[in-house]
Chain A
Amino acid sequence: MTTRTVGEPIARREDPRLLTGQGRFLDDIGSAGLAAAFVRSPHAHARIVDIDVTDALAVDGLVAIYTHDDLPGRVGETLPVLIPHEALTHGRTACPLAKNEVNHVGEAIVMVVATDRYLAEDACERIRVDYELLPPVVGIEAARDGDLLVHDDVPGNVSAHLVQETGDARAAIDTAPRVLDLDLEIERSASTPLEGRGVHARWDGDDHSLRVYTSTQASTSVRAALAAKLELPLDRVEVIAPDVGGGFGVKIVHPWPEEVLVAWAAIMLGQEVKWTEDRREHFVSAAHERGQLQHVRVGYDDDGHLLGLDVTIWHDNGAYTPYGIIVPIITTTQLLGPYKPGAYRAEFHSLYTNTVAVTPYRGAGRPQGCFAMERTMDAIAADLGLDRAVVRERNFIGPDEMPYDHGLTFQDGRPLIYDSGDYPATLAKVKKLIGWDAFEAIRDEARAAGRRVGIGLGCYVEGTGVGPYEGGFVKVETDGTVVVATGLTTQGQGHQTVFAQVVADELGVALDDVVVTTGDTRRFGYAVGTFASRAAVMSGNAVALAARKVRQKALRIAGEALEADPRDLEIVDGVVQVKGVPGATIPLRTVAVLSNPLRYAFDAESQRATQFAAPADPDRPPVADDDEPGLEGTDYYSPPRSTFANGMHAAIVETDPETAEISILRYCVVHDCGTLINPRIVQGQIHGGVAQGVGGALYEKLVYDDAGQLLNASFMDFLMPYASEIPVIETDHLQTPSPLNPLGIKGAGEAGVIPVSAVLASAIEDAESSQGIRISRMPISPSELYHLRAEATNEEGDS
């Protein structure tokens, strides 16, 4: 038997290349081409009165300057609303270059192309734009007030309003024995991948074809969007995602203004053009997420069972809605976590502000929803004097209740039905891992020593692997190499390892013989993209199905060659053999040769496939009617709906009684993403997710002033945690296979980040239990905790 690799913690095969500087990122491509730079709005809200480029014309090396007026046809028109939704009644997107009005600091107004980036920026500096300033709408409260408008034709700044309800939640709450109201807030943060966006375009005038490299999560859709914008036949456009230095959601948005403009300029100028985003551009002109105000009203009985839950969300969608309203839809549906809410009503208002657009960032609305639900659970436990874990457990959906239909519509437009999961078992594991039941003694002991330590818990369910589909291509070359391709892209997830593991196992070849290419439309044209923890679920299953096709074909051809029944054959280490008959073998590479009848030979292997090489049935065509040459196969995986992973995190924190410094002493994760393809990679995903979650809980916020200026648009001012702020993360896994897909897997990409704010809020509150503070807003800094303490003390004094 070939050693199975699925389930093994195999080291990432891409790392030696990436860690030794052999990666090929966007900025490594096309260094000889022209460079683009952009004049961007310094104002949050303004009308463009005049653009004067006169001074820039003198810059030596200037090639072209483009404003909105220079863009023909569809190139200059507004960018698409990628995910339309009937509730998105007032979707608005920007033009690639601003037409008359700018709606956030950083919006592109002029594109300059020069012989290098320095000169392009020099020219940008000399372009004078005259603005008529308009009052900016900054912050959710200002947007909600609706006195000032971001877009004149969007009353109340409301892009979308959606209510989903099962049962009569308000009536259920009104008649419930106990009722609580919570007002909650989550601040803005952003994906901030280490590599920003970037585009390189090359037009071949002779071939009339366009090749675009872009640092994207969705190359096939960029291709389709560019073909539409530039009015080119799809087969004249190819888009390639090279090595991508992180995406975390922001690079799923497309086409960016720069993708359209750089590609168009390359055609106009007949030369290669490249734009590489700098860090400040990324902060002010890519996308952010997270900012929400929430109101939760919950009714429950004296044992803590939920009877009714009524949630209202005010979601800051920034100046534009290129990605629709996916984020608030996810917040209001995934908020439910592993619980049965009783009657449930969720309402959201998605609001425009004069800030950069809001699109999914790892977690994509889930951290906010989890925060709302878990804060509610903690509040109920506090109200009833019950253990926080007990209240949660009493509201769990039981494993015997799967599949569980919430009666709502999820982000993929499909019913919100949980396919599998064992929440009580997950809770038991995490309680054991962190020592939940023994903690009270530890807390008391610490308190006696003048220390404040607390424990927190957070549970989540994550819909992963959303459709509509992904595909995979598998081909055995005549040298035995197995080539695998997906249209789905990679931003560091380890696809070259896990997809190879799946194919190696399905086909019966060595892992080292499998080579994986992702995100290159020349290799695979049909795909959706890498987001929503879907790559392993979607493309993992697709390459498995494709490999199964190839295996079947290999066994058929080998059966003919070995004069054996294909059912008696197996493939071990790349060799087809008759089970139990030593010596009756044929290597897969030879089967590949036989699969493609040849007239011409060019090496020893191909000689074996030529027409005089071997006797053949003179009455049969060399390639049968229902067959194709080549030992290759393509297949697709399309699920009926999402599969739902889950997990529970627990943490122990310590807060300094004087400085209010917050330290994480322990952090435990129990995670269930079904069958594990590679535990090491899943663990890495969890660790990275928790690190981003810690950033969101304790450090990261994007600070806009009243004028709509982003005050911390640099890594000097935007605090991200270093390794020194990230605790050792202790993990354990449950494997409840998904019944929805052949491999039984669920996604793991976003899991780590989802509950961290909820868990740390819970733990900090517990550490501060003697102070009686309530945390309703994240992230929380030491000074904010200090102020919460002061407020609690004052209230105590007042009463």
Chain B
Amino acid sequence: MKVTGSAVLHASREQVWQALTDPAVLVRTIPGCLRLEATAPDAYAMTVTAGVGTIKGVYAGDVRLHDQHAPGSFVLSASGAGAPGTVSCDVAVTLSEDGDAATQVAYSADAVVGGMIGGVGQRMLAGVAKKTAGEFFAAVDDVLAGREAVPAAASTTAASTTGRDAGVVYTAPPPALPRGALLTGEFTRGVLVGAAIALAGAVVGGWAAGRQRR
């Protein structure tokens, strides 16, 4: 499944870059993200709860950031598995200036969605994933605009944007519903969250649950 899209965030490229590569920001803006653990520089283990419709469950996997050209582009590879199925994807993200205080984020995701979620409901994933991407970028934009504060995640030491050490754990603040609260109904939320996962978080700046592809 290929999904492309873009969003405009109201901050400079450097600020957006920092936000999109900051686990402390991501852990609270990715729908359903429960836990991020840095396992190596630019590599994380992640736990996400996700589902499409009634196909729900917890995904565990790995995410890796590579081909970084700050503040212009990076590629994110993620793969993971959970009861609802498997996801693996590569997401190319480019940041370009859009006027003085705005940045356009373009993403292009190529995802393979397997297992139950792959065969049931995949037809609607691409569309819903794009919508979820919009939700995610709006959440990041809120953080950038200071409308939503980013507390130091529960068990982290101050998370810097570079040189994150292995073993640092980021957890979402309870209840982990920063965006979901805006939505009505469990079903809607399930669909959106699931789509995000299916997209391997391309949508969400690239943090899907994932296990490293060998």
Contact = CB atoms under 8 A, between A and B. Distances in A.
Q: Is the interface of B mostly helix, strand, loop or mixed?
A: mixed
Contacts of B122: 709, 711-712, 717
Nearest to B113: A709
A42 B120 CA distance: 13
A148 interface: no
**Residue of B113, B116, B119 with highest tally of chain A CB at under 10 A:** B119
A635 to B, nearest CB: 48
Given A713-B118, A716-B120, 7 more contacts: A42-B115, A125-B57, A128-B81, A131-B214, A133-B214, A284-B119, A717-B121
A705 interface: yes
Given A125-B57, A132-B214, A717-B123, A710 B81 contact: no
Given A125-B57, A705-B1, A712 B123 contact: yes
Contacts of B177: none
B114 interface: yes
A280 B213 contact: no
A717 B123 CA distance: 8
- Range for the number of chain A residues in contact with chain B: 20 to 34
27 contacts: A42-B114, A42-B115, A42-B118, A105-B119, A125-B83, A128-B81, A131-B214, A133-B214, A280-B116, A705-B112, A707-B112, A709-B113, A709-B118, A709-B119, A710-B118, A710-B119, A711-B118, A711-B119, A711-B123, A712-B123, A713-B118, A714-B120, A714-B121, A717-B120, A717-B121, A717-B122, A717-B123
A42 B213 contact: no
Contacts of B83: 125
Nearest to A49: B214
Interface in A32-53: 42-43, 49
A355 to B, nearest CB: 12
Interface residues of B, number: 19
B114 A105 contact: yes
A712 B81 contact: no
B85 interface: yes
Interface string A703-745: 0010101111110110000000000000000000000000000
Interface string B81-101: 101011000000000000000
B140 to A, nearest CB: 29
Contacts of B57: 125
B81 A42 contact: yes
A707 B86 CA distance: 12
Nearest to A122: B83
B70 to A, nearest CB: 30
A276 B119 CA distance: 19
A300 interface: no
B28 to A, nearest CB: 27
Given A43-B114, A128-B81, A705-B1, A280 B214 contact: no
Q: What 9 A-B pairs come out closest when comparing CB atoms?
A: A713-B119, A42-B115, A42-B114, A125-B83, A709-B118, A707-B112, A42-B86, A714-B120, A711-B122
A275 interface: no
A283 interface: yes
Interface of A: 42-43, 49, 105, 125, 128, 131-133, 280, 283-284, 705, 707, 709-714, 716-717
A709 B120 contact: no
A56 to B, nearest CB: 12
Contacts of A707: 112, 114
A599 B20 CA distance: 94
A280 B114 contact: no
A128 B112 CA distance: 19
A280 B1 CA distance: 20
B120 A105 contact: no
**Residue of A49, A280, A711, A713 with highest tally of chain B CB at under 10 A:** A711
A128 B60 CA distance: 11
Interface in B107-166: 112-116, 118-123
A54 to B, nearest CB: 14
A299 B86 CA distance: 52
Contacts of B214: 49, 131-133
Given A125-B83, A128-B81, A283 B119 contact: yes
Interface string B185-214: 000000000000000000000000000011
A19 B85 CA distance: 38
A133 B213 contact: yes
B112 A280 contact: no
Contacts of A284: 119
A451 B57 CA distance: 52
Contacts of A133: 213-214
A133 B83 CA distance: 19
A105 B113 CA distance: 11
A43 B121 CA distance: 17
A710 B123 CA distance: 11
A105 B213 contact: no
A125 B117 CA distance: 13
B119 A43 contact: no
A712 B213 CA distance: 25
Contacts of B121: 714, 716-717
A344 B38 CA distance: 67
Contact of B114 (A125, A709, A712): A709
**Residue of B57, B112, B213, B214 with highest tally of chain A CB at under 10 A:** B112
A42 B83 CA distance: 11
Interface in B61-88: 81, 83, 85-86
A710 B83 CA distance: 18
Contact of A713 (B1, B81, B112, B120): B120
